[in-house]
Chain A
């Protein structure tokens, strides 16, 4: 029986320290020049000009082969880049999914032609992807997706609806998980495939879904006889489920799961000042202790991925702890420093606290709900 999940401390090499210096210098210079505004849930905020500068500076697809524009750096170099971008609150949403998931998926399962066609523009920060997994009536129960692709001459006809698609209105392509065979109740994971859908092709309608903060982040896409050419099928027809599962470890382990409300903590520290009361010091200390611990765990998981392991349970646990922590930050902040009482003293703090409170409900839902993740952890512990 397995017992505790372990997160061996990971020490970064001098090359990663150099990378950290490189990305920090870029961000400081770009910010000083008015290149971006700081905000929370940085991967949900986008700025196409920022993504282009980010790509031009060589920070996208850094682990990919040089022949596609990559730098052949390590997974830990990429880890350093993304945690610095997120900690700086820079709007990296446009290129986020392509860099984290779509590129690696194409490298692992795509054809040579697909890699040559899609990867270089991603690296330049000019081509953006979204993930078409969820559907109406199919959230965490992904095996129930109904969006279907029917074989026709030279390709497939896509029909159905995808939902909760982050930033689809900015993206050029969606990698959609679709049924290429009817649902077999005995083999729910069979008969699914992944395809690259050009969101500008006929038969695609992208509709905004506004969130409770009034922001346009999600979308619903309706496909009506949308033609997807054969050359856009990713990997093997029918292998979609396995491909999607291998993506999820990347999706769940990243520092985005612990830094979503970090700017609230930063502005709380600024508001409290350098001579905190005992209560203020304890609250800030507690949040910092959680942050430092989670960051060490996220880095440990990145190290496991760099070593070629597939730490699915470990990643799920970091996401569960991390997103709960992100929700706690604004709760603690409002209790020790409430703008309503005139505390805080700066409008940036007030605005960060408001945003953090409004985005909080989504954090333990997106990328797998708390309940689903804890079910995965229980399985990893041998209970299921």
Chain B
């Protein structure tokens, strides 16, 4: 089942999600064809039970699909749709069709239900303008909001992805599911961004390896220079560590584990993303710094994603406090959870 999902996803992205499509998306054109193809294949709601409107796969199926999407820098709210779908399904609610997003995505913003209406503002909401529904965390429970009922002020991440300000004031609030702790959203978000970054890193490693084997300088390919080989090996190390950390978090989350693996993943992958992006740009030289070459479509996403749903400092501190609380003699037990 999972192999089939991932092979299908890989084929679709390879065929449709090219540099031109990403470029257009960053300029504001919704990639309707790519979305539709993914949705018709059941991939956008891979992890949602069939009776809730999904494809009935596991959480891991959806997360590995997300990793694949990262490898192609797919400019769609696939992570947000997965998160929204999982939260709704866990809360016992049906999952609407179409692209979804969630709000708020930062801890100090509160959306309240007052007299059957929503009040509050949420900033940097991913793809709010493109969503068919916004799943809102309120203290009363989950509320599914029609974007037409709220005010959306467009904004962008450094990757050119929509990160909009959403003013909920006055929107009708029908609570569809029980309350979800903000921390649960943070964990899912951090996990999703970790796997997206890990996928993107596999993408830039492949691009960089290809480039250094094609590009000739001083009469030989860059790949023949020992200094280049050493730095590509260092990059491969960061990519491998990121991918391993992301996969471990997927597996342990799917197994229902509430341990430290998501914090480990976001902290480790975020750090690796910065290093790998730096090495990839160095390997590409000036061409990688141009708009015409696709490398930046990946590295700008990695730079943006590593700060979302808690950057490295947030998850490092979270993890460090857990370690300190458990105590020195429990450190190994904590770090060797399998």
Interface residue ranges, A against B (CB under 8 Å):
1, 3-12, 83, 87, 262, 265-267, 269-270, 272-276, 278, 280-286, 288-297, 299-300, 317, 320-321, 371, 373-375, 377-378, 381-384
Contacts and interface: CB of A to CB of B under 8 A. Distances in A.
B232 A381 contact: yes
B319 A375 contact: no
A377 B244 contact: no
Contact of A266 (B232, B261, B315, B328): B328
B24 to A, nearest CB: 27
Contact of B316 (A273, A281, A294, A297): A281
Contacts of B316: 281-283, 285-286, 289
Contacts of B318: 281, 285
Interface stretch (B43-51, B121-129, B205-213): B205-213
B263 interface: yes
Nearest to A272: B324
A273 B226 CA distance: 45
Nearest to A273: B324
A218 to B, nearest CB: 27
Contacts of B229: 374-375, 378, 383-384
B335 A320 contact: no
B264 interface: yes
Contacts of B268: 289-290, 292-293
Nearest to A3: B206
B336 A286 contact: no
Nearest to A87: B332
Nearest to B229: A378
B263 A267 contact: no
B280 interface: no
A299 B325 contact: no
A266 B229 CA distance: 35
A4 B315 contact: no
Interface in B244-298: 244-245, 247-248, 251, 260-261, 263-264, 267-268, 271
B264 A289 contact: yes
B233 A286 contact: no
A274 B325 contact: yes
Given A266-B328, A285-B263, A292-B261, 16 more contacts: A4-B236, A276-B321, A281-B316, A281-B324, A282-B317, A285-B317, A288-B323, A289-B315, A293-B268, A295-B336, A297-B240, A317-B233, A378-B232, A381-B233, A382-B209, A383-B232
A169 B205 CA distance: 46
B202 A4 contact: yes
A286 B312 contact: yes
A12 B324 CA distance: 27
Contact of A297 (B201, B236, B244): B244
Contacts of A291: 335
Given A291-B335, A320-B237, A375-B229, A383 B212 contact: yes
B3 interface: no
Interface residues of B, number: 57
Nearest to A349: B328
A357 B208 CA distance: 35
A87 B336 contact: yes
B336 A297 contact: no
A3 B205 contact: yes
Interface of B: 201-202, 205-206, 209-210, 212-213, 223, 226, 228-230, 232-234, 236-237, 239-241, 243-245, 247-248, 251, 260-261, 263-264, 267-268, 271, 312-313, 315-325, 327-329, 331-332, 334-338
A286 B241 contact: no
B251 A7 contact: no
Contacts of A272: 324
Contacts of A383: 209, 212-213, 223, 228-229, 232
B81 to A, nearest CB: 25
Contact of B315 (A11, A285, A375): A285
Contacts of A270: 327-328
Contacts of A377: 233, 236-237
A366 to B, nearest CB: 19
Nearest to B334: A288
Nearest to A1: B209
B333 to A, nearest CB: 9
Nearest to A17: B338
Given A273-B324, A285-B263, A377-B236, A7 B244 contact: yes
Contact of A265 (B212, B223, B251, B331): B331
Contact of B324 (A266, A276, A295, A297): A276
Given A269-B327, A286-B312, A374-B230, A7 B264 contact: no
B242 to A, nearest CB: 8
A283 B320 contact: yes
B35 to A, nearest CB: 27
Contacts of A290: 268
Contacts of A286: 267, 271, 312, 316, 319-320
Contacts of B263: 285, 289
Given A4-B202, A284-B324, A286-B267, A11 B251 contact: yes
Contact of B248 (A9, A267, A282, A285): A9
A351 to B, nearest CB: 15
Contacts of B251: 9, 11
B319 A7 contact: no
A11 B316 CA distance: 25
Contacts of A10: 338
B321 A281 contact: yes
A286 B311 CA distance: 12
Nearest to B206: A3
Contacts of A371: 230
Contacts of B323: 269, 284-285, 288
10 smallest CB-CB distances across A and B, nearest first, come from A281-B320, A285-B320, A285-B319, A285-B316, A374-B233, A378-B229, A270-B328, A377-B233, A284-B320, A289-B267
